[in-house]
């Protein structure tokens, strides 16, 4: 009996994602001028207002208001009609110094013994159902919104789009867990006002089905065969969507953790990523477990892998490492035996994660929309400025946890 599975995504203009992007822009600026910065920044956005809060230990000083405004402008909130606009919104900062009680558990005289910034469990997942080893429904949900954002910025084929949007894709799977077709697509996009609602709804649905969908199929040809004329489209199913963004819905950092990871596949430990420096294992260990899972699947160890790691605050060595292959392992070992071998290949102490994945660099703004996983590693040069006019250009590697740089070691260790 076939079954259905659904994942969702949200655009960079969604209020929660605005908050994530501001928090991660602050992280990048702190790390650019002081790589040892310890930061936990939360952002709230609502009608005409941004509130920044959190804890920081850093040697640098930043104009946090200007950083937030630059992010909002880049996303596209540049018109007063949106009731949330980059140049005019109020910005309140309540950022203060990090608690010494927390810091004493992280910093050590020997960097190798750096303790975990918090307790908790983190998960990484990978599947071979896509080229980037991500769950297909989530990959498609992200693709729809990335292309919708491209159409909004081009402002030529579709001219009425506003920044806030959500998508959802439902796939039909066969009994042997292979995706067969797209069953349903949901897209809700904010838009300019129309004179007549019925005309508006017909126009938006027609444009998205006849312009957006063909562009997605052309850009992602590996998924084109999944589209069919039986897809159920729900385009702006509630009707009018003029009031959106932070004016329509308050946004908070860390409220889209499933969009950020695997769309409901695998598991999630509950910790958000954005606004946290890599001493916070919620972030760094989640990246490290994704790195492990992806390299295991790419090496041919299994078709599907879930990796769990857990920590005690202030303690370097993980309290547990576990690998689950869902019965798809290609080697004659139990999951427990696989876990022991994995532990010997990947050092999961926080300092070694930071070094292996180059996490003490300003690489986080790019992660804050359209998912932290399944992205393409690349090297870029970024420029940052302080309020006193200091400018710094930094060349960094983005999405290092997506690199397939351990497959040979995995193959050797498991005799693949």
pLDDT at 99: 57
B/e letters for 300-332, b = 16+ CB within 10 Å, e = fewer, are ebbbbbbbbbbbeebebebeebbbbbeeebebe
Please check whether residue 281 lies inside any domain of the structure. Answer: yes
Please tell me which residue, 99 or 89, carries the higher pLDDT value: 89
- Mean residue pLDDT across the chain: 95
Report the 10 Å Cβ neighbour count for 415: 8
On whether 276 is known to bind a ligand per the annotation, the reply is: yes
What is the number of structural domains in the chain? 2
Q: Are residues 342 and 222 in the same domain?
A: no
Domain with residue 144: its CATH number is 3.30.300.10
Long-range contacts, stretch 153-162, CB < 8 angstroms, 24+ apart: 153/76, 157/207, 157/211, 158/207, 158/211, 158/212, 160/191, 160/192, 160/194, 160/204, 161/189, 161/190, 161/191, 161/192, 162/13, 162/76, 162/82, 162/189, 162/190, 162/191, 162/192, 162/242, 162/244, 162/245
User: Is 57 annotated for ligand binding?
Assistant: no
What pTM was computed for the model?
Answer: 0.96
In a domain, 291, yes or no: yes
Does residue 205 surpass a pLDDT of 80? yes
In terms of residue numbers, what domain contains 404? Answer: 120-128+272-414
Query: Which pLDDT score is estimated for 117?
Result: 81
pLDDT over threshold 90, residue 102 = no
Based on the fold, state whether residues 173 and 235 are members of the same structural domain: yes
One domain for residues 289 and 389: yes
For residue 299, is it within any domain?
yes
For residues 396 and 346, membership in a common domain is answered with yes
Domain contains 53: no
- Phi and psi at residue 392, in whole multiples of 5°? -140, 130
pLDDT given for residue 113 in this prediction: 73
**Digit-coded pLDDT (tens) for 243-295:** 999 999 999 999 999 999 999 999 999 999 999 999 999 999 999 999 999 99
Q: Tell me the C-alpha distance between 390 and 69, whole Å.
A: 19
* 330 marked ligand binding residue: no
Do residues 224 and 346 both lie within one domain?
no
Indicate whether 233 and 281 sit together in one domain: no
Does 166 show up as a binding residue in the annotation? yes
- Shared domain for 236 and 342, answered yes or no, is no
Q: What is the pLDDT of residue 107?
A: 58
* 241 belongs to an annotated ligand binding site: yes
pLDDT level of residue 388 (50, 70, 90 thresholds): confident
Ligand-binding site membership of 98 (annotated): yes
Distance, CA of 35 to CA of 32 (rounded, Å): 6
Q: What is the pLDDT of residue 305?
A: 98
198 and 278 inside one domain: no
pLDDT score recorded for residue 103 = 53
Whether 66 is in a domain gets the answer no
Give the Cα separation of 189 and 151 in Å (integer): 12
- Collect all residues with Cβ–Cβ distance below 8 Å to 336 and sequence separation of at least 6: none
Say if residue 236 is in the same domain as residue 350. no
* DSSP percent split of the chain into helix, strand, coil, nearest 5: 35, 25, 40
What span, in angstroms and rounded, lies between the C-alpha atoms of 251 and 19? 6
Is 255 marked as binding a ligand? Answer: yes
* pLDDT at 386 (0 to 100): 87
Answer whether residue 46 is part of any domain. Answer: no
Residues 396 and 345 in one domain: yes
Q: Give a yes or no: residue 311 inside a domain.
A: yes
Same structural domain for residues 150 and 186?
yes
**147 annotated as a binding-site residue:** no
Residue 42 assigned ligand-binding role: yes
Domain end (from 198, 224, 243): 243
d(CA 250, CA 227): 34
150 and 189 share one domain: yes
Tokens for 184, please give them: 């349903």
Check the annotation: does 55 bind a ligand: yes
3-state secondary structure at position 311: strand
In a domain, 43, yes or no: no
Q: What is the pLDDT of residues 54-69, one digit of tens each?
A: 999 999 989 999 999 9
Cβ contact 335:324 at 8 Å: yes
Q: What is the pLDDT of residue 320?
A: 97
Q: Is 395 exposed, middle or buried (0-12, 13-18, 19+ CB in 10 A)?
A: exposed
165 is in an annotated binding site: yes
Q: What percent of the chain has pLDDT over 90?
A: 92
């Amino acid at each position: 009996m076939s079954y259905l599975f659904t994942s969702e995504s949200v655009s960079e203009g969604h209020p929660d994602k605005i908050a994530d992007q501001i928090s991660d822009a602050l992280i990048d600026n702190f790390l650019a001028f002081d790589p040892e910065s310890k930061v936990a920044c939360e952002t709230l956005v609502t009608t005409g207002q941004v509130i920044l809060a959190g804890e920081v230990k850093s040697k640098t000083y930043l104009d946090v208001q200007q950083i937030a405004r630059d992010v909002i402008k880049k996303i596209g909130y540049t018109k007063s009609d949106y009731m949330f606009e980059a140049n005019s919104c109020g910005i309140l900062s309540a950022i203060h110094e990090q608690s010494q009680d927390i810091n004493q558990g992280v910093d050590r005289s020997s960097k190798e013994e750096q303790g975990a910034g918090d307790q908790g469990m983190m998960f990484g997942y990978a599947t071979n159902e896509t080229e980037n080893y991500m769950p297909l429904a989530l990959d498609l949900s992200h693709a729809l919104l990335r292309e919708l954002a491209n159409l909004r910025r081009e402002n030529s084929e579709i001219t009425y789009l506003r920044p806030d949007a959500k998508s959802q894709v439902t796939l039909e799977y066969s009994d042997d867990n292979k995706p067969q077709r797209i069953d349903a697509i949901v897209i809700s996009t904010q838009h300019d006002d129309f004179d007549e609602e019925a005309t508006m709804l017909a126009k938006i649905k027609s444009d998205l089905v006849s312009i957006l969908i063909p562009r997605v199929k052309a850009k992602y040809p590996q998924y084109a065969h999944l589209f069919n004329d039986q897809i159920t489209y729900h385009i702006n199913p509630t009707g009018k969507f003029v009031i959106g963004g932070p004016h329509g819905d308050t946004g908070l950092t860390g409220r889209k953790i499933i969009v950020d990871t695997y769309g409901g596949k695998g598991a999630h430990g509950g910790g958000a990523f954005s606004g946290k420096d890599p001493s916070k294992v919620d972030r760094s260990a989640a990246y490290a477990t994704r790195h492990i899972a992806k390299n295991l699947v790419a090496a041919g160890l299994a078709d599907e892998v879930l990796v769990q790691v857990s920590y005690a605050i202030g303690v370097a060595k993980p309290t547990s490492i576990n690998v689950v292959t869902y019965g798809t392992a290609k080697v004659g070992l139990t999951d427990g035996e696989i876990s022991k071998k994995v532990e010997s290949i990947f050092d999961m102490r926080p300092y070694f994660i930071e070094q292996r994945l180059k996490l003490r660099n300003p690489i986080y703004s790019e992660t804050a929309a359209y998912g932290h996983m399944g992205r393409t590693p690349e090297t870029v040069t970024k420029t940052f400025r302080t309020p006193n006019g200091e400018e710094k250009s930094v060349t960094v590697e983005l999405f290092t946890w997506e690199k397939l740089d351990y497959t040979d070691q995995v193959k050797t260790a498991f005799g693949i």
